[in-house]
Amino acid sequence: MRESDITMSELKRLQDEAVEALRKNRLSEPPLLFFLNPLVDWFESLHIELVRAGSFPDARRAFNPVFIHLPAEGCHLTELAARANMTKQSMAELVDELVDKGYLARFPDPNDRRAKIIVRAEKGLQAHEATMLAFARIERELETRLGRESLQQLRSDLATACDSIAAPESEP
């Protein structure tokens, strides 16, 4: 249906149907995602703000999948993309940018000359240190807001939830 084909009465009908459908399918409590997304957004935004305020003004949230999933010893692009659940092409663009900015380096794999191993360069290691300091500061802020016991309980509950979805499902 084109926009120009919708009359005001049709618009009102569609709005009323949508409101009714949303009310009918509403859960008794908001989905957990409604709570997790704002928390993750706040955490990541503050993290980047703190890292930028330090020595890394070119830091971007888009870089997080690379640094979160790149093991200390480095890895191949295909492995990094798979770990981050990204396409190889998307990960390659991020890696290229981070190599150009001096955060990462690529070296030939001694076991497979066709492949490259991606590792953190000196600037990447410094950015990692700045990130760990930012995380500590953010967690102190969260502790101030929630209290020590509540933050510890949140960490424990989230760790348990992550472990439960990472574990293979039991056979029926």
The one-letter amino acid at 46: L
CATH class of the 31-161 domain in this structure:
mainly alpha
Q: What is the pLDDT along the chain (172 residues), one digit of tens a residue?
A: 566 667 888 999 999 989 888 888 777 888 899 999 999 999 999 999 999 998 999 999 999 999 999 999 999 999 999 999 999 999 999 999 999 999 999 999 999 989 999 999 999 999 999 999 999 999 999 999 999 999 999 999 999 999 999 877 754 4
Q: Which among 68, 78, 42 has a CA at the least distance from the CA of 127?
A: 68
Q: How many residues does the chain have?
A: 172
DSSP the chain: --GGG--HHHHHHHHHHHHHHHHHT--SS--THHHHHHHHHHHHHHHHHHHHHTT-TT--GGGHHHHHH--TT-B-HHHHHHHTT--HHHHHHHHHHHHHTTSEEEEEETTEEEEEEEEE-HHHHHHHHHHHHHHHHHHHHHHHHH-HHHHHHHHHHHHHHHHHHHSPPPP-
Domain edges within the chain: 31-161
pTM for the full predicted model: 0.77
CB 107 within 8 A of CB 116: yes
Residue-level pLDDT at 3: 60
Residue-level pLDDT at 170: 53
